[in-house]
Structure 1
Amino acid sequence: MKPLRWPRFWLALWWLAVLGTLVVCLIPPPSIPLPENSDKVEHFLAYFLLAASAVQIYRRRAALVWAAVGLVALGIGIEFAQGALTVNRLADPMDALANSVGVLAGMAIVFTPLRDLLLRLRG
């Protein structure tokens, strides 16, 4: 992990966000009408934020690889779960793709000066 001021807090918050993503994806969807395929943007953003947050917390390349693999597996697994375990959601391969692209984009933060944003903010 990076030498953050409150490393356990940030790690717990990240895991809470991962758990929250899992829960939100398996509960009944809101009955708010949305434009067609706008959920792909939501999927991309959610996984982008989870991956970019992992970049803020983890320093070692191996930890980042495991976080990325875990997030991609979570995104794919959730799609299977939506198809198998829920009656009000559908498994959509395009959602899994949006999740995975979001993870890749979020992990790409490691190649920018933003990779240490939380450290610079005295997190």
Structure 2
Amino acid sequence: MKPALEPYPQPVRRAALVIALLLALGIAWLSMVPGSTVPGPMISDKIRHFGAYATLAIPVAMWFGPGRFAAVLVLTAYGAGLELAQGLLSATRQASVFDAGANALGAYAGYLL
């Protein structure tokens, strides 16, 4: 029989929540500002999405504790929502299902860490 996963201590969970909120705000801001003119292959954009959501998933999973797979679902919805917002609210950005996929894969990778 597997031992039950213990949640992180409350101070650690609070710190994880603050870090997660700051990262989420940063990701939202970067997602909605006018597009970058930095040259580079399109794949690099997906790597940035993957890395951002993998990084965000770590404190979110710590905050969720033992039921942390829910963190992947929450972050997948968050990433899809930001992509939708780009398509609906931004004149210079467009929604991308591939970006949303990279966000979801990054969230899952961060959860696995």
What band does the TM-score fall into relative to the shorter chain?
A: 0.7 to 0.9
Q: Deviations over 1:87-118 (max 9, x none)?
A: 11111110001111111111112xxxxxxxxx
> Is it true that 1:44 corresponds to 2:22 in the alignment?
no
Equivalent in the alignment of 1:53:
59
Equivalent in the alignment of 2:112:
108
**Deviation above 6 Å: which 4+ runs of structure 1?**
none
The answer to whether the 8 Å contact 2:16/2:62 transfers is: no
- How far 1:6 moved relative to its partner? 4.9
Equivalent in the alignment of 1:81:
85
Q: What is the one-letter code of the residue matched to 1:18?
A: A
- How far 1:7 moved relative to its partner? 4.0
Equivalent in the alignment of 1:35:
41
Equivalent in the alignment of 1:25:
31
Unaligned runs of 5+ in 2: 1-6
Unaligned runs of 5+ in 1: 110-123
Q: Deviations over 1:47-75 (max 9, x none)?
A: 111112323444221xx133221100011
Q: Give 3-state SS (helix, strand or coil) of 1:32's partner.
A: coil
Alpha-carbon RMSD across the aligned residues, in angstroms, is 1.8
CA distance in 2, matches of 1:74, 1:16: 14
The answer to whether the 8 Å contact 1:41/1:98 transfers is: yes
Q: Given the two structures, how large is their TM-score scaled by the length of structure 1?
A: 0.76
